[in-house]
Amino acid sequence: MSDPQEKVSSKDTEEVIMEATFRALSKHGYKDLRMRDIGDEMELTRQVIHYHFDGKYDLMSAFLEHIIEQYEGSVEVDGDADPRSELDARIDQCLFGPEFEEFTHWDRMKVYHELYTYAQNDGEHRKVFNEHYDRIRGSIVEVVEDGIEQGEFRDVNVDRMGQLITDVIHAARGRRISLGHEDAPEEARRAIDEFILDSLYADA
């Protein structure tokens, strides 16, 4: 067998490993995952994984960053949208999308939520999740602030509002994954509209 490093660039190789990791995780889950399971999911030799990553933990950290990047790279911000439309789009994005060719939003979120739970004992992953949480909440806070500035929303505690919406999104995704409530994201979306976002207009 020829050296796989000659066939593909380092960036392509890492992409191939990430996709193999996705497939292996979907089959085996994180807890029982072995490096060889990932090797079984790709055409390159397994040595390539060890060349790029220093063990399972290092690979999983890279994989977590990979999911988050995919997630964030896909947020389309329309500069002309009014605050409510932009808020709606951001919430939908976190709850339902984005879609990619091979793996669905829920394939990604299963891994995301599993690693999230482990983060209690893992300083490095906890840091990654905290940064992601701050960015998601921050993006909601920003839109609410715009809305207040433009006089569309009443003057609320924006950090608390951002935290509340982020929490509801997270719980609804987790409930769909852990308890099998297929309608959890749709129901959460309706609850956010009826009971949370409506309160943005209460004194308007």
Residue ranges in contact with a copy of itself by CB under 8 A: 29, 31, 110, 113-114, 116-121, 126, 129-130, 133, 156-157, 160-161, 163-164, 166-168, 170-172, 174-175, 177-180, 187-188, 190-192, 194-196, 198-199, 202
- Residue closer to a copy of itself by CB (options 52, 181) is 181
Whether the bond into 98 is cis, omega within 30 of 0: yes
Classify each residue of 32-63 as buried b or exposed e, where b means 16 or more C-beta atoms within 10 Å of its C-beta.
ebebebbbebbebeeebbeeebeeeeebbbeb
Give the nearest distance from C-beta 166 to a copy of itself in angstroms.
Answer: 8
Give the nearest distance from C-beta 91 to a copy of itself in angstroms.
Answer: 14
- Residue closer to a copy of itself by CB (options 22, 129) is 129
Q: How far apart, in whole angstroms, are the C-alpha atoms of residue 189 and residue 35?
A: 38
Give the nearest distance from C-beta 133 to a copy of itself in angstroms.
Answer: 6
Give the nearest distance from C-beta 169 to a copy of itself in angstroms.
Answer: 8
Give the nearest distance from C-beta 40 to a copy of itself in angstroms.
Answer: 19
Q: CA triplet 31, 14, 11: central angle to 5 degrees?
A: 160
- Residue closer to a copy of itself by CB (options 14, 37) is 37
Per-residue tokens: 185: 């994201």
- Residue closer to a copy of itself by CB (options 17, 147) is 147
Q: CA triplet 183, 189, 194: central angle to 5 degrees?
A: 125
Q: How far apart, in whole angstroms, are the C-alpha atoms of residue 53 and residue 33?
A: 15
- Residue closer to a copy of itself by CB (options 8, 196) is 196
